[in-house]
Amino acid sequence: MKKEFIVTPWEVTGKINYNKLIKEFGISPLANLPKEFQRNLLFRRGIVYGHRDFENILNAIKNKQKFVMMTGLMPSGKFHFGHALLVKQILFYQSLGAKLYIAVADLEAYNTRNPNLEELRKVAIEEYLINYIALGLKPKNYDFYFQSARSKDAKKSNAYYNLASKVSRYVTFNEVKAIYGSITPGKLNSALLQVSDMLHPQLKDFEGKINVLVPVGSDQDPHIKLARDIIQRIKDYRFSQLSSSYHMFMPGLKGDKMSSSDSTSYIALTNSSEEAANKIRKYAFSGGQATIQEHRKKGGNPDVDVSYQWLRMFFEENDKKLQNIYHNYKSGKLLTSELKQILIDKLTIFLKNHHRQREKAKKLVSKFI
Ligand code: TRP
């Protein structure tokens, strides 16, 4: 039987049913969050939908204990709105006082995609870091590093690479096969290095034992599983169990996957507002009917309409307004062209402001590396 969707670190295809994914992965639905989380649309609207051991982080917040938010970025291609969903979470945790660890997965990219570290470094800074700063990242309580060069401090660097090497002792090949299926040496190496990314904040040369939250896209759960298994077995260290959270993928313009390798599937944060508007008009998959008459009669389907989904996931903060758009589209009162225009207006304001922030961010980069 053909599976209706596949979600692994190396492949994401099909129409993802998140309820099924929760069961398949064995993660828990994320619900009943405290009010500071409700203020953030990603949590309020269930776009961050699943977790493992998130209670530990909620307790740390409640008891005013320090915690770490650790995540990573793959420096490939353009930084688009799909990537921005994670950045919104990073900024949210920074506002809650978390210490941030952000890994540039340049060695992972080297081993699985593009063997040019210099180019990867350039993409990481110009595409990712500058956009992070423009979106509001602050250089305090924060550690941004490249997997290929963990730290100028040899003690820290040694601790990180030692851990990356030692973790392999605590996992068998059968277990690797059970988690990943068939896997190449490059991918396995990247997975174990990512385990070190996620565990090393708890080493004594970094924070010491502490709660660590790893917010990620749904495809990263196998790595989290591996890391959590290793934590339970590793003898030399006493680590707190890792917490994780999972967000939905933002749909690509054409309704399927948003992919950096297909520029008609995304809008980059460096696209001009004119380019963005054209892409929406030309490519954004519509849940509307074929003719205006038919649309007025039968109404549209906001659940599959990409413009509506983008408003829900990113651009329309106001729940009331979003609800109105939903109902008006469903009833046929709102036409596809009008719905697209609502998104275009939001995008235009966002991008114009973002491009100004990017110019400022460029001057600040050195404070962030
Ligand atoms: N593998 C991640 C990706 O493809 C990047 C990554 C590297 C990461 N190290 C990490 C993510 C640690 C979370 C935590 O996007």
Beta pairing class for 211-217 and 67-73: parallel
Q: Quickly count: other Cβ atoms within 10 Å of residue 99's Cβ.
A: 20
Query: What is the amino acid identity at position 320?
Result: K
Say whether pLDDT at 321 is over 80. Answer: yes
Please give the C-alpha separations between residue 286 and each of 108, 153, 265, 290, 339, in angstroms, as whole numbers. Answer: 36, 53, 14, 10, 9
Say whether pLDDT at 3 is over 80. Answer: yes
> How does pLDDT run across 125-184, given as a tens digit for each residue?
999 999 999 999 999 999 999 999 999 999 999 999 999 999 999 999 999 999 999 899
Pair 49, 80: CB distance under 8 Å: no
Q: Which residues contact 154 (CB under 8 A, 6 or more apart)?
A: none
pLDDT of residue 235: 86
Q: Is the CB of 245 under 6 A from ligand 1?
A: no
Looking at residues 38-58, what average pLDDT do you find?
98
Ligand 1: atom nearest CA of 9 is: 4
Give, for ligand 1, the residue of 68, 198, 216 to mutate: max count of ligand atoms closer than 8 Å to Cβ. 216
Looking at residues 263-271, what average pLDDT do you find?
97
Q: CA angle, 53 as apex, 105 and 228 as ends, to 5°? A: 50
Q: Which residues contact 238 (CB under 8 A, 6 or more apart)?
A: 209
Pair 292, 299: CB distance under 8 Å: no
From CA 81, how far away is CA 74, in angstroms rounded? Answer: 15
> How does pLDDT run across 322-352, given as a tens digit for each residue?
999 999 999 999 999 999 999 999 999 999 9
pLDDT of residue 73: 97
Query: What is the amino acid identity at position 17?
Result: N
> How does pLDDT run across 174-221, given as a tens digit for each residue?
999 999 998 999 999 999 999 999 999 999 999 999 999 999 999 999
Q: How confident is the model at residue 2 (pLDDT cuts 50, 70, 90)?
A: confident
Q: Which of 106, 74, 70, 104 is nearest to 89 (CA)?
A: 70
pLDDT of residue 1: 62
Pair 276, 348: CB distance under 8 Å: yes
Looking at residues 72-86, what average pLDDT do you find?
96
Question: What integer best gives the mean pLDDT of the chain?
Answer: 97
How distant is the alpha carbon of residue 2 from its chain centre? 27
> How does pLDDT run across 22-43, given as a tens digit for each residue?
999 999 999 999 999 999 999 9
Helix (H) or strand (E) holding 70: strand 67-73
Ligand 1: atom nearest CA of 193 is: 9
pLDDT of residue 281: 98
How distant is the alpha carbon of residue 54 from its chain centre? 17
Residue 67 Cα, ligand 1 centroid: separation in angstroms? 19
From CA 308, how far away is CA 10, in angstroms rounded? Answer: 28
From CA 352, how far away is CA 275, in angstroms rounded? Answer: 12
Residue 231 Cα, ligand 1 centroid: separation in angstroms? 18
